[in-house]
C-alpha cells in the first residue's frame, strides 16, 4: 500500500512538473523567431502623428507604447532602429525638432490604414495621404489628428532617453510626453465613461499577430474610489 501510494505521488509530480527552455538574450536562441515581443503582450498601439519643421505630416504606429502617469497624464513611446532614408526614423526626428506629437488610438476598423502607415516612406511623403486618412487640426499643438480614430492624445515632449542598442548605426529611444489635451468621440462614451467595446482598439502581440479585446471584467478594490 505504501509503495503504491509512493508511485502515485511520483506520477502526480511528473504530471505537474514544468519544463522551461532558457537562453541568454546576448546569445543565439533555439526558436525559429525571437520570442521577446510575444512574451509581453498584448501591447497597445500608439499611432503617432507628427509634422516636420516645414509642416509635412507623418503618421506611424508603435507598439512599444503605454501610459506611465496620471497626474499629470503622461505616456511613453519607444522608437527602435533607423529609417532606410536617414539615421533616425521620421517620427523621432520630428519630435526632436518640434517637441509635439499626437497619439491616435488604432482600432480594428482602421487596421489596414494603420498597417499601411508602418511602411518606411521618404521623409517628404505624408503617410496619411498614402493611407487615405483624413487629418484634422489639433487644439493645442501643430501636428494633426486622425479624424476616424475615436481618441486622440495631444502631447508635448518632456524627455528623450537613449536606450541600449546592439548596433552602433541604429538608435533605440524612449520618448516621454505630457498629454496636454484629450479628444474622445462622443460615440464611444456611455454614461460618461469610455466604452472600450465601442472603441474596439487593436493591440500588438508577437510575430505577425494582432488582437482585439476579449472579455472585460472588473475587480472592485475597496480601497480605491472611482
Half-sphere exposure of residue 138, counting CA atoms within 13 Å on the CB side?
26
pLDDT above 60: residue 172: yes
The reported pLDDT for the residue numbered 204 is 95
Output the nine-digit C-alpha cell for 82.
533607423
The reported pLDDT for the residue numbered 93 is 94
Beta strand spans in the chain (E) = 43-44, 46-51, 57-62, 65-70, 73-81, 100-105, 135-136, 145-146, 151-163, 171-184, 189-190, 193-194, 203-204, 210-211
| pLDDT range class, residue 4, cuts 50, 70, 90 | low
Q: Which residue has the cell 496636454?
A: 180
The reported pLDDT for the residue numbered 2 is 54
Mean pLDDT of the chain: 89
pLDDT above 80: residue 173: yes
Task: Determine the average pLDDT of the residues in 78-93.
Answer: 85
Whether 134 and 90 have beta carbons less than 8 Å apart is answered as no
What percent of the chain stands above pLDDT 70?
92
Cα 56 to Cα 91, 119, 192, 213: the distances in Å are 12, 17, 36, 34
Residue 46 zone, left/alpha/beta (φ > 0; ψ -120 to 50; rest): beta
Mean pLDDT is lowest, of 12-26, 100-114, 175-189, for 12-26
Q: Which residue has the cell 527602435?
A: 80
pLDDT digits (tens, 9 = 90+) for 5-64: 554 545 554 556 888 888 898 888 888 898 888 888 899 999 999 999 999 999 999 999
pTM: 0.86
pLDDT digits (tens, 9 = 90+) for 143-160: 999 999 999 999 999 999
Amino acid at each position: 500500500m505504501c509503495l503504491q501510494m509512493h508511485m502515485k505521488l511520483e506520477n502526480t509530480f511528473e504530471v505537474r512538473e514544468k519544463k522551461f527552455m532558457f537562453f541568454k538574450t546576448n546569445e543565439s536562441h533555439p526558436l525559429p523567431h525571437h520570442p521577446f515581443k510575444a512574451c509581453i503582450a498584448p501591447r497597445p498601439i500608439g499611432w503617432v502623428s507628427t509634422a516636420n519643421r516645414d509642416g509635412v505630416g507623418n503618421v506611424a504606429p508603435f507598439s512599444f507604447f503605454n501610459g506611465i502617469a496620471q497626474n499629470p497624464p503622461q505616456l511613453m513611446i519607444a522608437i527602435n532602429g533607423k529609417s532606410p532614408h536617414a539615421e533616425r526614423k521620421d517620427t523621432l526626428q520630428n519630435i526632436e525638432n518640434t517637441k509635439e506629437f499626437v497619439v491616435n488610438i488604432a482600432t480594428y476598423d482602421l487596421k489596414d490604414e494603420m498597417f499601411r502607415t508602418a511602411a518606411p516612406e521618404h521623409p517628404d511623403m505624408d503617410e496619411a495621404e498614402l493611407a487615405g486618412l483624413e487629418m484634422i487640426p489639433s487644439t493645442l499643438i501643430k501636428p494633426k489628428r486622425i479624424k476616424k480614430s475615436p481618441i486622440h492624445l495631444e502631447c508635448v515632449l518632456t524627455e528623450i532617453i537613449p536606450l541600449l542598442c546592439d548596433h552602433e548605426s541604429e538608435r533605440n529611444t524612449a520618448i516621454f510626453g505630457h498629454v496636454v489635451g484629450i479628444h474622445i468621440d462622443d460615440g464611444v462614451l456611455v454614461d460618461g465613461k469610455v466604452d472600450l467595446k465601442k472603441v474596439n482598439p487593436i493591440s500588438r502581440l508577437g510575430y505577425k499577430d494582432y488582437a482585439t479585446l476579449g472579455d472585460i471584467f472588473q475587480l472592485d478594490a475597496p480601497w480605491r474610489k472611482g
